[in-house]
Structure 1
Amino acid sequence: MRTAISAIVAGVRGREGMQASGEIAGADALPSVPLDERIQALDVLRGFALLGIFLMNVDYMVRPLAALDGSVPANLRGLDYAAGWLIYTFVQGKFWTLFSLLFGMGFAVMMTRAERAGRDFVRPYLRRSLALLGFGLIHACLIWGGDVLMNYALVAFVLLLGFRRMRLNWLWRFALLLFLVPVLMSAVGLATTYHALHSSPAAYTEKMHEREQTHQKWLTEVGAAEQLQRHGSYAAMSRQRAQDMIKSLPWMAIGGMQILGVFLFGAWLIRSGRMVKPQAHLPFFRGMLILTLPLGSLLALCSAWCGVTTIPGASTLRVGIGTSLMDIASMLMCLGYLSVIVLWLQHPRGARVLAWLAPAGRMALTNYLLQSLLGTWLFYGYGLGLAGYFSRAWQVVYVLVFYILQLLLSRWWLSSHRYGPMEWLWRYLTYLRQPIWSSSPR
Structure 2
Amino acid sequence: MKLAAPSDNAHSGAAAAAPAPAAQSRFVSLDFLRGCAVMGILAMNIVAFAMPEIAYINPAAYGAGDGGNITAWLFGFLFFDGKMRGLFSLLFGASMMIVIMQMTERGEDPTKRHYARMFWLAIFGLLHFFLIWWGDILFSYAAAGSVAYLFHHLSSRSLIKWGLILYAAAFLTISLASGAMLYTQYRAYQPGASATEIRDYRVLIEDTGYGQAAIDRDLAVHRGSYAGILDDKLTEKLFDPLLGIIGVLLETLPFMLIGMAMAQNGFITGQAKPQTYRRFAIWGFGGGLILTALCAAVNIRTAFDPVTVMVIEMNAAMPARLLMTVGYAALLILFIRRFSLACISQHISAAGRVAFTNYIGTSVCMTAIFYGYGFGLYGQVSRPWLYGFVLCAWAVMLLWSKPWLAHFHYGPLEWLWRSLARGRLQPLRRVA
TM-score, structure 1 as length reference: 0.86
SS at match of 2:154: coil
The Cα shift of 1:411 comes to 1.3
Q: Give, as a single letter, the amino acid of the residue that structure 2 aligns with 1:435.
A: Q
1:325-364 to structure 2, matched below 5 A, reads 325-348=316-339, 351-364=342-355
SS at match of 2:73: helix
The Cα shift of 1:432 comes to 1.6
Residues 371 and 192 from structure 1, CA distance in 2 versus in 1: closer, same or farther, beyond 3 angstroms? Answer: closer
Residues 351 and 333 from structure 1, CA distance in 2 versus in 1: closer, same or farther, beyond 3 angstroms? Answer: farther
1:147 aligns with 2:136: yes
Cα separation, 2, equivalents of 1:105 and 1:246 = 29
Q: Give, as a single letter, the amino acid of the residue that structure 2 aligns with 1:271.
A: Q
| 2:99 alignment partner in structure 1 | 110
Cα separation, 2, equivalents of 1:387 and 1:96 = 24
| 2:278 alignment partner in structure 1 | 286
Residues 308 and 364 from structure 1, CA distance in 2 versus in 1: closer, same or farther, beyond 3 angstroms? Answer: farther
SS at match of 1:355: helix
Q: Give, as a single letter, the amino acid of the residue that structure 2 aligns with 1:70.
A: I
Cα separation, 1, equivalents of 2:204 and 2:310 = 17
Decide whether the 8 Å contact of 2:35 with 2:348 is kept in 1. yes
Alignment coverage as a number of residue pairs: 415
SS at match of 1:38: coil
1:115-130 to structure 2, matched below 5 A, reads 115-130=104-119
Q: Give, as a single letter, the amino acid of the residue that structure 1 aligns with 2:164.
A: L
Cα separation, 2, equivalents of 1:107 and 1:287 = 26
Cα separation, 2, equivalents of 1:139 and 1:173 = 34
Deviations 1:383-433 (A, max 9, x none): 111224422111101111121111111112111111110000011012122
Cα separation, 2, equivalents of 1:431 and 1:191 = 47
1:209 aligns with 2:199: yes
| 2:58 alignment partner in structure 1 | 71
**Identity of counterpart residues, as a percentage?**
27
Which runs of 5 or more structure 1 residues have no equivalent in the other structure? 1-7, 24-28
TM-score, structure 2 as length reference: 0.88
The Cα shift of 1:64 comes to 3.0
Deviations 1:57-105 (A, max 9, x none): 111011233x435133363323333212101121111111111000000
Decide whether the 8 Å contact of 2:285 with 2:323 is kept in 1. yes
Q: Which residue of 221, 229, 233 corresponds with 1:237? A: 229
1:32 aligns with 2:18: no
Decide whether the 8 Å contact of 2:159 with 2:258 is kept in 1. yes
The Cα shift of 1:250 comes to 2.8
Deviations 1:247-285 (A, max 9, x none): 452342133121110000000001112233x24422221
Cα separation, 2, equivalents of 1:164 and 1:280 = 21
Cα separation, 2, equivalents of 1:229 and 1:30 = 49
Q: Which residue of 250, 253, 271 corresponds with 1:257? A: 250
Q: Give, as a single letter, the amino acid of the residue that structure 2 aligns with 1:97.
A: G
SS at match of 2:26: coil
Residues 367 and 182 from structure 1, CA distance in 2 versus in 1: closer, same or farther, beyond 3 angstroms? Answer: same
1:224 aligns with 2:212: no
1:396 aligns with 2:387: yes
Q: Give, as a single letter, the amino acid of the residue that structure 1 aligns with 2:278.
A: R
Decide whether the 8 Å contact of 1:198 with 1:204 is kept in 2. no
The Cα shift of 1:206 comes to 3.3
Q: Give, as a single letter, the amino acid of the residue that structure 2 aligns with 1:244.
A: K
1:399-418 to structure 2, matched below 5 A, reads 399-418=390-409
Cα separation, 2, equivalents of 1:199 and 1:384 = 45
Decide whether the 8 Å contact of 1:366 with 1:420 is kept in 2. yes
The Cα shift of 1:363 comes to 0.5
| 1:178 alignment partner in structure 2 | 166
The Cα shift of 1:116 comes to 1.0
SS at match of 1:415: helix
Q: Give, as a single letter, the amino acid of the residue that structure 2 aligns with 1:112.
A: M
Residues 81 and 301 from structure 1, CA distance in 2 versus in 1: closer, same or farther, beyond 3 angstroms? Answer: same
1:83-98 to structure 2, matched below 5 A, reads 83-98=72-87
Which runs of 5 or more structure 2 residues have no equivalent in the other structure? 16-23
Q: Which residue of 403, 413, 427 corresponds with 1:436? A: 427
Decide whether the 8 Å contact of 1:303 with 1:323 is kept in 2. no
Cα separation, 2, equivalents of 1:45 and 1:272 = 17
Q: Give, as a single letter, the amino acid of the residue that structure 2 aligns with 1:250.
A: L
